[in-house]
Structure 1
């Protein structure tokens, strides 16, 4: 896979699209976990949020790999204006 120089739009194969959705849900869970860590202090283990962050990274790489044959759809600034 090539290095990214633009944002990847969450599209492509059905598997890639589902992996992008899973990544979005994981990122939401990570944000909620950080909010709980700040709200409750020592009651929530910060490793949980770090794990969720790494999991979302893995899901992103898997989504890109699922689109390997057809290629990622990259965001083009100003294209839809």
Structure 2
């Protein structure tokens, strides 16, 4: 039997995944580690995380970019 649930979910504890004790993580990573989730997207690959989950081979690296409007000249009153 295959059960498929579609959607985007936040972890119950509202955290991304921090190591709270050796090999035990919270958040998104903890949910994958404890089999409450099958997979997760957008986790940075770091040595501590590699100890408890398998990462796929990266295929797209995108630098983080912030976009804002250009400053406007304020009229002198």
- Shorter-chain TM range is under 0.3
Which structure is higher in RCO with an 8 Å CA cutoff and minimum separation 6? Answer: 1
Q: Scaled by the length of structure 1, what TM-score is found?
A: 0.23
Q: Scaled by the length of structure 2, what TM-score is found?
A: 0.23
Higher helix share: 1
Of structures 1 and 2, the larger Rg is shown by 2
